[in-house]
Amino acid sequence: MKNTHKKAGRWAISLAGAAAMTTAWAADYPTKSIHMIIPFAAGGPTDSLGRSLADEMSKVLGQKVIVENKPGAGGNVGSTMFAKMPADGYSIMIGTNGPLVANPMFMKGISFDPNKDFDPVSFVAYLPNMIAVHPSVPAHSVKELIELLKANPTKYSFASGGLGTSTHFAGELMKTLAGVQMTHIPYKGDGASMPDAVGGQVPIVFGSIFAAKRFTDSGMLRGLAVTSKDRVPSVPDIPTVAESGLPGYDLTAWYGLVVPAGTPKPAIKKLSEAVQTIASSPSFRERVESMSGIAKGSTPEEFTQFIESERPKWKSLIEESGIKVE
């Protein structure tokens, strides 16, 4: 009986010690620089948003957040690498609709599972996309573009920021709802697709408003519509796709922060609180608004619930469009 009491006492002391260590760890964290993976190319919206967030997180957390771009395969290259990084609170990634939800549903050979390999930290922002065309394209509205595509079913192609990106699916959704054909030309980010669209190598481009606006403002591209449900304040004269002839069309890019699965909960909590603080700050909100987006932080639980709510939507879109990449 005495031995039982002794074991129980040692167990209680052990638990108390572990709790104290966890509390101390949480209070001290972070004690060194944090590594942020951006799974898309430099110059695009994910890169710009990620670097802006990293700068602010460095200030809030008191430790440098070091950014590394790992582009390729619609975010899969960087996400695959990230899934193997230490789950110690010092590895973070800014993810999008593609690698966090859609890609595993239609791409084969993916060696990571976002549902099992990543733990959600916080929502970061929404960034709507835009449909734009080269000035040589004889269409000044989505309605005219649909008519043009129907009259020329094999002639036109569209550029996107990569396989599985929201810009890719924005094009696929238009094809499905309008019953038209376009050949998809994927690029490694909007920073690569926009120059080719401006140069006329590809006539139609689906890209972030952030990347497209300077070209549509200058007349180098013609903006036809935004892909979000509502009009975007930074381009108030450009209608939505839904009000331009495709009711129900709505496909907006979203961005959030994740960590490798198994990262200590105190670290996730502190990272989430940092993002929430940053997302509510006027300076970061203005930065995101300058990208034609909306900043939004969340708890890990809220971001988890949001991701789960997105899965049926993307599954349905993938099945309806028949998209499949080997």
Say which residues have a Cβ less than 8 Å from residue 324's Cβ, sequence separation at least 6: 106
Tens-of-pLDDT digits for all 326 residues of the chain? Answer: 445 554 455 444 444 444 444 555 567 899 999 999 999 988 888 999 999 999 999 999 999 999 999 998 889 999 999 999 999 999 999 999 999 999 999 888 899 999 999 999 999 999 889 999 999 999 999 999 999 999 999 999 999 988 878 899 999 999 999 999 999 999 988 889 999 999 999 999 999 998 999 999 999 999 999 999 889 989 999 999 999 989 989 888 899 999 999 999 999 999 999 999 999 999 999 999 988 899 999 999 999 999 999 999 889 888 877 776 65
DSSP 17-70: HHHHHHHHHHHH---S-EEEEE-S-TTSHHHHHHHHHHHHHHHHHSS-EEEEE-
* Amino acid making up residue 53: L
Q: CB 99: neighbour CB atoms within 10 A? A: 30
User: Are 32-127+252-321 and 129-244 equal in CATH topology?
Assistant: yes
Q: pTM for this structure? A: 0.81
Class (C level, CATH) for 129-244: alpha beta
Q: How far is C-alpha 208 from the chain's CA centre?
A: 11
Q: Please report, for the chain, the start and end positions of each structural domain, with discontinuous segments joined by +.
A: 32-127+252-321, 129-244
Q: What is the CATH number of domain 32-127+252-321?
A: 3.40.190.150
Report the candidate in 256, 201, 205, 209 with the shortest Cα–Cα distance to residue 228.
Answer: 209
